[in-house]
Amino acid sequence: MIPTTLELTADPNGIARAADLLRQGLLVAFPTETVYGLGGDARDGEAVARIYEAKGRPSFNPLIAHVASVEAAQRFVQWSDQAERLANAFWPGPLTLVLPLKPGHGVSSLVTAGLDTLAVRVPAHPTARALLAAVDGPVAAPSANPSGQISPTTATHVHAGLGGRIAAVLDDGPCGVGLESTIVGLTGEPSLLRPGGVALEKIETVLNTRLHLHKAGDMLTAPGQLQSHYAPDAPVRLNAETVQGDEVLLGFGPVICDMNLSETSSLTEAAANLFAALHSLNKTGRPIAISPIPDHGLGAAINDRLRRAAAPRDS
């Protein structure tokens, strides 16, 4: 138990301090362009165990290793032509690649949950990049929220969920993309393991092939894609045209509502606002109704998160 969580500013001093804490095996939440990540040294089993502990996360759910560059990624995974094409097109950025581990990789088996593959990503956020360069090693980082709850897109969200449980938060304002990275599996036929910040259509264009789509409940290809996830405390109802009873309406497009994801129907803007809107409506304590969101481009990732937020809860 850590009594106070340090608030670090994202300047050279704060970043150096954060890197020190990570090297000591402690946990630091840091901004990425997608959501805030809860970082721990991926080579240090105890640090990774602290991540699972702080989040209350089921241990069968493996973590993404964040690295500073393509070269750094290649130290840990077996590279391929398809990985090269996707990295050229989308790194640094909101794309995670799952690739076979290399012998002698040195990554804790708690990161991979014992799989022989590793999820790697080079984030684009300048503070994340500076931190990874300073640490000079892979940083395991799930979203910095208690397991099953809404992902954090501000340092305030991180404090609300994990304050007192982690060493520090590196604060650099709200995240630009607002949705987690897209995860593509490249261990067999290329497959979409999680929709996210890079639209499926763009990935298919670069690979010049269709991706296999992950089937719900297929735990073999995408461990940890839990049905109920990103869940506010209140019930969530999707595709709502009007409100019922005591509901608050989270709108999209030109609708009368309590809060709007994007009045101009921009999916990019809606993605960036999604988790902050859920955090804030959750505080009203009222059930949440949500307008229909188109299912193309980033809309597919938004709808994936919303279906999980609305799914029946595990007790």
Footprint on this chain of ligand TXA (rule: CB under 6 A):
32, 34-35, 37, 61-64, 94, 96, 98, 112, 115, 117-119, 121, 141-143, 180-181, 183, 193-194, 222-225
Residue 32, interface with Mg ion (CB under 5 A)? Answer: no
Asked whether position 153 contacts Mg ion by CB under 5 A, the answer is: no
Span near Mg ion by CB under 5 A; candidates 143-151, 238-246, 269-277, 282-290: 143-151
- In the block, residue with structure tokens 């959750």: 282
117 interacts with, out of Mg ion, ligand TXA, none, CB within 5 to 8 A per kind:
ligand TXA
Cβ of residue 180: shortest distance to ligand TXA, in angstroms?
4
Q: Which residue is nearest to Mg ion (CB)?
A: 143
Q: How many CA atoms are closer than 13 Å to the CA of 245, on its beta-carbon side?
A: 8
Residue (181 or 273) nearer to ligand TXA, CB:
181
As measured in angstroms, the least distance from the Cβ of 151 to Mg ion is: 5
193 binds, among ligand TXA, Mg ion, none (CB under 5 to 8 A by kind): ligand TXA
Minimal distance, residue 205 CB to Mg ion, in Å: 27
**What is the residue type of 126?**
P
Which of ligand TXA, Mg ion, none has residue 63 at its interface (CB below 5 to 8 Å by kind)?
ligand TXA
Q: Work out what residue 309 binds among ligand TXA, Mg ion, none; the CB cut-off runs from 5 to 8 Å by kind.
A: none
> Could you tell me if 178 and 273 are in contact, meaning their C-beta atoms sit under 8 angstroms apart?
yes
Binding site for Mg ion (CB under 5 A): 143
